[in-house]
Amino acid sequence: MSADARPVGPAATREPVLSVRDLVVHFAGRRKTTVRAVDGVSFDIAPAEILALVGESGCGKSTIALSVMRLIEPTSGTILAGGEDLARLRGRRLRRARERVQMIFQDPFGSLNARRSVYDTVVEPLVIHGIASSKEERRQRVNEALELAHLTPPERLAQSYPHELSGGQRQRVAIASAMVLRPPLVVADEPVSMLDVSARAGILRLMMDLRDRLGTSYLFITHDLATAWVVADRIAVLYLGRVVEIGRSTDVVAAPAHPYTRALLEVSADEERLSTDEPVAVLPGEAPSAARVPPGCRFHPRCPRYVALGEPEACRVADPTLGPAPTAGEGHQVACHFPLGENP
């Protein structure tokens, strides 16, 4: 097993809900280039664990989420959930597997059909998967899901339409729709980034509450390390399709070992940016492109530590793999030849 494939953190000691190994997703790009959107990513998620995938736009985090949902085809690698490799399932077995993994999307305005009532939206997974045969049972399960999402009274909310709801309420409907099947794993792709600040806190609290009450695990996708720190047990930082740092949230945020993680932290500390949620350049230098992955350490053209250390050759020629971080925190790993917290 490669260093990248090593299970870390709580997931190493409990049977994982999701186990991703050496996931690769490559696309054909323009002018015969290969877009290496995901380039060998491994991680586990334990029961009732929230793992955040953090990185800039284009780092591969949403591609990983869509691969887990099998909304795009992985090039290679395995995605084990419930004893089956989701990357290889087809037809009926794939549909059955999808009962166990549900998704919440970024846009609560676009992800709901304006012409469908809340009831119609939340009942849909039960209908698709042929669960709850009687009308009364379906209504009961929809009401329970709405209550779980704190949409009360459920009977009244079920008759509402998206235009009658706030952004936060719409995202709660999306969560109710994901939870109606009581899946062990939910993939949440930037679920709060389009909400105002007050609604964000409520949605994050709700997700953590569902984790505590039902034991739901989450693969939580975000560009914002501060949000990840609030919600996640562990954080995996992605750069150009690779995990460059992974560990318990407290270790990654309190003692980042990778220069890119530190750069993300500095952006997250900018409260003005947090309130507007404008996309920002994390670091100066050319925006990263998965069609032009640099040789050696893929971060070296933008790495302030590379410059500070006098541009060592190792950074230009050798691709670093994950290894123990200097913090020695449980499962804290970093892919850097000269991690922060280590001399010089």
> Footprint of ligand SF4 on this chain (CB under 6 A)?
258-259, 297, 299-300, 303, 305-306, 315, 320, 336-338
Write down the least CB distance from residue 59 to ligand SF4, Å: 14
Which DSSP string do the residues of 23-86 spell out, in sequence order?
A: EEEEEE-GGG-EEEEEEEEEEEE-TT-EEEEE--TTSSHHHHHHHHTTSS--SEEEEEETTEET
Q: Which C-beta is closer to ligand SF4: that of 224 or that of 245? A: 245
Q: What's the rounded Cα separation, in Å, for the pair 220 and 148?
A: 19
| C-beta separation of 2 from 22 below 8 A | yes
Q: Which C-beta is closer to ligand SF4: that of 7 or that of 294? A: 294
Q: Which C-beta is closer to ligand SF4: that of 173 or that of 303? A: 303
Q: Which C-beta is closer to ligand SF4: that of 199 or that of 322? A: 322
Write down the least CB distance from residue 190 to ligand SF4, Å: 25
DSSP class of residue 217 equals: E
Amino acid in position 327:
T
Q: What's the rounded Cα separation, in Å, for the pair 161 and 115?
A: 7
Write down the least CB distance from residue 318 to ligand SF4, Å: 8
Write down the least CB distance from residue 320 to ligand SF4, Å: 5
Of 131, 113, 230, 220, nearest in space to 173 by CA: 113
Q: Which C-beta is closer to ligand SF4: that of 9 or that of 320? A: 320
The burial class, CB within 10 Å (0-12 / 13-18 / 19+), for 125 is buried
Q: Which C-beta is closer to ligand SF4: that of 7 or that of 312? A: 312
Write down the least CB distance from residue 19 to ligand SF4, Å: 27
Write down the least CB distance from residue 57 to ligand SF4, Å: 20
Strands (E), 197-343: 217-222, 234-239, 242-248, 323-324, 333-334
